[in-house]
Amino acid sequence: MFSDLSSKENSIPTGIETHAHLLLVSASLSNGNDVDRILLSAGYRVSCVDSVSLAKQFLSNHAVDLILLDMAVMTEAGPAMVQTLAGTDCVILVNEHQAYLAAEAMRAGAIDYIIKPFSQRQILDVVRGALRLRQAIPNLIATSPQSLQVLQLARRAAKTSATILIGGESGTGKERLARYIHEMSSRAGKPFVAINCAAIPEAMLESILFGHSKGAFTGATANQQGKFELAQGGTLLLDEISELSLALQAKLLRVLQEKEVERLGSHQVIALDVRIIAASNRDLRELVLQGAFREDLFYRLDVLPMSWPALRERRDDILPLAEYFIERYAAQQGYRLGESARQQLLSYDWPGNVRELDNVIQRALIMARGLHIQAVDL
C-alpha cells in the first residue's frame, strides 16, 4: 500500500529539514504515536509503504532524502536488506527485544536507529540528525571501513555533551571531523569556533582563549571576548592542544572543571555552556609520561577518544576525495582522472595526508592538457 502526504500549510519547517522527503516503511503506524503525522507536522513530506518490496518499487520512481525502516517488516535477509534500498540513507526502527538487529543494520549501512516506543522529540531528533548528516558528508568523504567506523563513533559522540579528543596525523582532517560532530549535535545551530594552539604566540594565546578587559595589559584598549565566550552555546575546537604551555594547561583545566571563565584583568565570572573538542597530532599519553602534558588535563579531555586514520590507512577514500577536489576546484565541468593517474594516486603513501592530496589535485588541474588528468599531470 502506497500513501503520499504533503506538509501541512501551518507547519514550520526549519533549516535543512525544509522540503525533505521521507519514506516510512512500516506495517503498522500505531506505536502509541502516529509517526507519519509527527513527521508531517514538523514540515516533512512523508510517503508510506508497508513492505520492503513496495519500498523498492517506490524508490525506482521517486527520490527521497531519508528512509525510516521498521524492522518489523523485514521478512527477508534481515538487516542486510538495508543495502538494497537504492543507496538511500536509512534509519532503523526496532523494538526493545530487537536491539541486536540495530547493530547489524548499522554494519549493513544504516546511519542510525531508534528503539520503540519512542517520543515525538526522540524521532524528530533522529530524523534531523540524519538529514544534517547528508549535508556534512560532502565535506568529509568516508568510503573505507576505517573511515565509516570513525563516523559511526562520531555520530554517537555527537549525541552526548562529553569532551572529545581527536588524534591523527597532520593533514588527516581532524578539524573537519570536529565540525562534523558539531553539525550532528544539538548545538548545530550555534557557533563552531576553532583555534590552532600551535599557530599563536604564547604571550597572546591566553588573551585569545579567555579574553581580556580594557587596561589588562599594554595595548588592551577595549574589552575583548575570548574564544570560550565566542563559542557560547556551541563547540570550541582546541587544535594542536599539545602545544599549550604547562601554565596555560593549568588555567584550561580550571575552566573545564568549573565551566566558567574570567577575562584577563577582570574578576567577573562568566558561566560557560561550551562543548570542548581537542585535537592533536602527537601522542598525549607519551607527553604525559615525559612531563610535557598535565595528566589531570589529559583525563579531563580523553573522555571520548577517537582517531582519524592516515590516508594511507584508508586507501578506499583516495579516489573519492580526489574526485571531490576536482569538482571543487575545476574551472569547468568534465575533468576526469585517467587510469594512470588513478593508479599513481592509489600507490602513493601520502605523508601529507588529505591536505597533500588537495594540493596535488589543484596542481593537476593546472597542468592537465585536456579534461583527462594523467599521471604526468600529478
Q: Are residues 175 and 290 in the same domain?
A: yes
> For each successive 10 residues of the chain (378 residues), what is the average pLDDT?
46 49 78 73 87 82 84 64 65 79 70 83 85 62 81 86 93 90 86 89 84 70 81 93 94 92 80 94 95 95 92 92 87 85 94 93 90 89
Residues linked to residue 116 through DSSP beta bridges, in sequence order: 95
pTM for the predicted model, two decimal places: 0.68
Q: Are residues 150 and 261 in the same domain?
A: yes
Which residue segment(s) compose the domain that 51 sits in? 3-136
Choose among 280, 55, 305, 31: nearest CA to 163.
305
CATH number for the domain spanning 345: value is 1.10.8.60
pLDDT for 132: 72
pLDDT for 141: 75
**How many domains does the chain contain in total?**
3
Q: Are residues 293 and 353 in the same domain?
A: no
Instruction: Yes or no: say if 234 and 182 are a contact pair by the CB < 8 Å rule.
Output: yes
Q: Give 149-187 pLDDT, tens digit per residue.
A: 888 888 888 888 899 999 999 999 899 899 989 988 888
Q: Are residues 64 and 158 in the same domain?
A: no
Grid look-up 519500498 returns 55
Q: Choose one of 136, 168, 184: the last residue of a domain.
A: 136
- Interatomic CA distance for residues 310 and 32, integer angstroms: 47
Choose among 70, 78, 21, 22: nearest CA to 50.
70
pLDDT for 8: 36
